[in-house]
């Protein structure tokens, strides 16, 4: 028969919908046409497929070739359909029986030589293949990572010829096996690298336990960036589902996934010159941005006031909802973006505040680059002071290791999940009322403090949530005055702004 049907998958956002590749050979002039692909990539696909077939020593057909990629209205990026088109042509020419093709899904870009080149988005592709009960045949490099999906049947090939021999059963390739995938935390940085700063480490542990957003302020060189980079080392490792979801997002962005570290929570540090699109995602067939790459993990914004205020304000919605919707004329995409924000900044444009080099007015203007509503979304704000003289050299105090803090964090996070099904930072205001009840005395104490600091209702809820986390770390049922006082201490920016305004 001169008609063949081959299955493949497109990439749409972080999904991989099925694409049926039909190839028909008929009489007439030996033309080669592809329908269902955007015009620019059609020509390229044709040229690659033709050369790859010829260079793999197949006789290229002298019939008229018509290829249809259905459904036609899905966006399709050229490269990944090269292999299914080539296989389809071989089948239509009678070189591969149609019935053996039904069990496979093919994806891969062809080099002119017939070698296979990796595609992006192998994780969603292989995952969808597994759900459909078919075998995913893909470039070897993609296959090694797709093997992270438990129960998926993956065949990795280096070339068109290898794929051809495999499907014919002439030279079978074994299913891809995962050689090594870490089940735990794997890193070369540790909280003990940071000398001193016990208060900052305490704040980091609270932030990790309750998934609270955190801001470090302080002069340059006190270890703010170092501390921030170590937040992921004390967070509980990801579950299989979380790790797979994160891997899927990374794979559609063409990011390498390392099986040794794939359970570590992602840590992303976009530069302050990053555009809105780089941060939240975009493009005609939208790709996720930094906030989605940090889904299940941490987004670190260093030198916070240097970021464009408009860009920061775009983060406000995903910070609340845990997802981002990107609207394009042609289509809409929604990406998960449940990330924990950690930020660091110098509280003054010239270095240290109070160094006399900038007036309170200049400092205020600098701080005003951060909008109030944005700052409101940060639960814990702490000043990181200079280390005392000699702290780095004489008997440096390194505190606990990441490993031991991580165990405590995992425990108190577990308490939260059991109580409310989510970490404390994600409690709704109604849940805060329910789970963070105070005695009449303590409620009055908090109200007075809020008034003194001129805090918003949102800040009020934040303080209660942070207090809840502090109590959970201590293993205590009720929130007490001590927990509230500590939580109130984590409002460094509010205090600073208060002070500057009163000068
Ligand atoms: N508490 C600390 N413990 C160990 N090294 C530190 C500490 N604080 C600063 N350093 C050293 O100073 C460098 C700058 O620290 P960094 O975290 O970038 O400071 P910041 O972000 O506060 O400006 C680090 O690479 C490290 O070598
Ligand atoms: Mg820094």
106: domain CATH number is: 3.30.230.10
Residues with CB under 6 A from ligand 1: 194-197, 220-226, 344, 387, 392
Residues near 268 by beta carbon (within 8 Å), at least 6 away in sequence: 290, 293, 294, 297, 298, 299, 300, 339
Residues 156 and 205 in one domain: no
In whole numbers, what is the pLDDT of the chain averaged over residues? 89
Residue 56 has phi, psi (to 5 degrees) of -95, 15
Distance between first and last Cα of the chain: 87
Residue 186 resides in a domain:
no
Residues 147 and 206 in one domain: no
Residues 222 and 135 in one domain: no
Confidence at residue 23, expressed as pLDDT on a 0 to 100 scale = 96
Residues 473 and 352 in one domain: yes
Residues 200 and 84 in one domain: no
Residues 233 and 144 in one domain: no
Ligand 1 atom 8: residue of nearest CA: 223
Residue 119 resides in a domain:
yes
Cα distance between residue 241 and residue 43, in whole Å: 39
Taking 90 as the threshold, does the pLDDT of residue 413 lie above it? yes
Distance 412 CA to ligand 1 centre (A): 29
Element (H, E) at 270: none
Q: What is the pLDDT of residues 4-28, one digit of tens each?
A: 999 999 988 888 999 999 999 998 8
Residue 181 resides in a domain:
no
Q: List the domain range (segments joined by +) for residue 67.
A: 3-168
From 194, 221, 352, mutation site for ligand 1 pocket: most ligand atoms within 8 A of C-beta? 221
Residues near 393 by beta carbon (within 8 Å), at least 6 away in sequence: none
Q: What is the DSSP string of 206-250?
A: HHHHHT--EEEE--TTSSHHHHHHTTGGGSPPPPHHHHHHHHHHH
Ligand 1 atom 18: residue of nearest CA: 225
Distance 303 CA to ligand 2 centre (A): 7
For 39-48, 101-110, 205-214, which range has the lowest pLDDT when averaged over its residues?
39-48
Confidence at residue 21, expressed as pLDDT on a 0 to 100 scale = 95
Residues near 258 by beta carbon (within 8 Å), at least 6 away in sequence: none
Residues 410 and 281 in one domain: yes
Confidence at residue 352, expressed as pLDDT on a 0 to 100 scale = 63
Residues near 192 by beta carbon (within 8 Å), at least 6 away in sequence: 398, 399, 400, 401, 402
Distance 432 CA to ligand 2 centre (A): 34
Confidence at residue 282, expressed as pLDDT on a 0 to 100 scale = 84
Confidence at residue 327, expressed as pLDDT on a 0 to 100 scale = 80
Residue 176 resides in a domain:
no
Distance 465 CA to ligand 1 centre (A): 30
Residues 113 and 45 in one domain: yes
Domain boundary among 168, 201, 228: 168
CATH number assigned to the domain comprising residue 301: 3.40.50.300
Residue 182 resides in a domain:
no
Cα 245–chain centre separation: 8
Ligand 1 atom 24: residue of nearest CA: 223
**Closest ligand relative to 301 C-alpha:** 2
Distance 47 CA to ligand 2 centre (A): 50
**Per-residue H/E/C for 10-52:** CCECCECCEEEEEEEEECCCCCEEEECCCHHHHHHHHHHHHHH
Distance 462 CA to ligand 2 centre (A): 26
Residue 382 has phi, psi (to 5 degrees) of -140, 140
Residue 183 resides in a domain:
no
Cα 168–chain centre separation: 39
Ligand 1 atom nearest to CA at 227: 17
Ligand 1 atom 13: residue of nearest CA: 221
How many structural domains does the chain have? 2
Mean pLDDT of 29-50: 84
Distance 221 CA to ligand 1 centre (A): 5
Mean pLDDT of 419-443: 92
Residue 178 resides in a domain:
no
Distance 406 CA to ligand 2 centre (A): 23
Q: What is the pLDDT of residues 184-202, one digit of tens each?
A: 777 789 999 998 899 999 9
42 compared with 404, residue with greater pLDDT: 404
Mean pLDDT of 67-95: 91
Element (H, E) at 251: helix 240-252
pTM, entire model: 0.89
- DSSP classification of residue 262: T
Residues 13 and 111 in one domain: yes
Ligand 1 atom 1: residue of nearest CA: 195
Query: Strands 214-217 and 340-345: what pairing?
Result: parallel
Question: 101 and 4 in contact (C-beta within 8 Å)?
Answer: yes
Ligand 1 atom nearest to CA at 216: 22
Confidence at residue 354, expressed as pLDDT on a 0 to 100 scale = 57
**Closest ligand relative to 191 C-alpha:** 1
Ligand 1 atom 12: residue of nearest CA: 221
Q: How confident is the model at residue 1 (pLDDT cuts 50, 70, 90)?
A: low
Query: Strands 109-110 and 340-345: what pairing?
Result: unpaired
- The residue among 293, 296, 290, 148 whose CA lies nearest residue 232 is 296
From 189, 200, 214, 226, mutation site for ligand 1 pocket: most ligand atoms within 8 A of C-beta? 226
Question: 281 and 270 in contact (C-beta within 8 Å)?
Answer: no
Distance 385 CA to ligand 2 centre (A): 13
Strand residues in 303-385 grouped as ranges (E): 323-327, 332-336, 340-345, 380-383
Cα distance between residue 63 and residue 92, in whole Å: 11
Confidence at residue 330, expressed as pLDDT on a 0 to 100 scale = 66
Q: How confident is the model at residue 355 (pLDDT cuts 50, 70, 90)?
A: low
From 190, 197, 222, mutation site for ligand 1 pocket: most ligand atoms within 8 A of C-beta? 222
Residues 105 and 58 in one domain: yes
Taking 80 as the threshold, does the pLDDT of residue 351 lie above it? no
Mean pLDDT of 338-363: 79
**Closest ligand relative to 398 C-alpha:** 1
Residues 164 and 195 in one domain: no
Distance 307 CA to ligand 2 centre (A): 14
Residues 117 and 200 in one domain: no
Residue 489 resides in a domain:
yes
Taking 80 as the threshold, does the pLDDT of residue 246 lie above it? yes
Tokens of 263: 């359970």
Ligand 1 atom 5: residue of nearest CA: 194
**Closest ligand relative to 229 C-alpha:** 1
From 223, 351, 397, mutation site for ligand 1 pocket: most ligand atoms within 8 A of C-beta? 223
Confidence at residue 356, expressed as pLDDT on a 0 to 100 scale = 65
Best-predicted range by mean pLDDT (21-30, 70-79, 252-261, 319-328): 21-30
Distance 395 CA to ligand 2 centre (A): 24
**Closest ligand relative to 304 C-alpha:** 2
Domain boundary among 106, 136, 168: 168
Confidence at residue 469, expressed as pLDDT on a 0 to 100 scale = 96
């Amino acid at each position: 028969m001169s008609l063949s049907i081959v299955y493949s998958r497109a990439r749409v956002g972080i999904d991989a919908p099925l694409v049926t590749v039909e190839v028909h050979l008929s009489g007439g002039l030996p033309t080669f046409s592809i329908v269902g692909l955007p015009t620019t990539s059609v020509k390229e696909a044709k040229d690659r497929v033709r050369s790859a077939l010829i260079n793999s020593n197949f006789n290229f057909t002298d019939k008229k070739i018509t290829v249809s990629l259905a459904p036609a209205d899905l966006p399709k990026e050229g490269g990944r359909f090269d292999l299914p088109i080539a296989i389809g042509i071989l089948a239509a020419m009678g070189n591969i029986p149609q019935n053996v093709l039904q069990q496979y899904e093919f994806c891969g870009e062809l080099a002119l030589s017939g070698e296979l080149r990796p595609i992006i988005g192998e994780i969603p592709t292989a995952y969808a293949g597994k759900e459909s009960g078919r075998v995913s045949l893909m470039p070897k490099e993609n296959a090694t990572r797709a093997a992270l999906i438990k129960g998926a049947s993956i065949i990795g090939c280096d070339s068109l010829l290898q794929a051809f021999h495999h499907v014919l059963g002439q030279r079978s390739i074994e299913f891809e096996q995962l050689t090594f995938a870490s089940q735990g935390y794997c890193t070369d940085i540790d909280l003990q690298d940071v000398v001193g700063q016990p208060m900052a480490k305490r704040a980091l542990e609270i932030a990790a336990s309750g998934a609270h957003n955190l801001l470090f302020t302080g002069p340059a060189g006190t270890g703010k960036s170092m501390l921030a980079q170590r937040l992921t080392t004390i967070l509980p490792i990801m579950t299989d589902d979380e790790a797979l979801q994160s891997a899927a997002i990374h794979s559609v962005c063409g990011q390498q996934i390392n099986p040794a570290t794939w359970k570590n929570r992602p840590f992303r540090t976009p530069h302050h010159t990053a555009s809105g699109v780089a941060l939240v995602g975009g493009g005609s067939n939208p790709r996720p941005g930094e906030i989605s790459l940090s889904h299940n993990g941490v987004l670190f914004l260093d030198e916070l006031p240097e970021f464009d205020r408009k860009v920061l304000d775009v983060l406000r919605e995903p910070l609340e909802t845990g997802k981002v919707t990107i609207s394009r004329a042609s289509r809409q995409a929604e990406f998960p973006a449940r990330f924990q924000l950690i930020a660091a900044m110098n509280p003054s444009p010239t270095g240290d505040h109070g160094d006399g080099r900038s007036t309170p007015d200049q400092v205020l203007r600098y701080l005003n680059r951060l909008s109030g509503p944005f700052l409101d979304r940060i639960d814990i704000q702490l000043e990181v002071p200079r280390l005392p003289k000699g702290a780095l050299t004489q008997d440096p105090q390194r505190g606990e290791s990441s490993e031991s803090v991580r165990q405590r964090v995992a425990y108190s996070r577990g308490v939260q999940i059991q109580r409310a099904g989510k970490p404390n930072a994600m409690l709704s205001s109604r849940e805060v009322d329910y789970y963070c009840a105070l005695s009449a005395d303590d409620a009055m104490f908090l109200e007075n403090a809020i008034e003194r600091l001129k805090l918003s209702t949102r800040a009020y809820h934040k303080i209660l949530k942070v207090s809840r986390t502090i109590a959970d770390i201590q293993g205590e049922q009720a929130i007490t005055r001590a927990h509230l006082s500590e939580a109130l201490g984590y409002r460094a920016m509010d205090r600073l702004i208060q002070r500057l305004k009163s000068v």
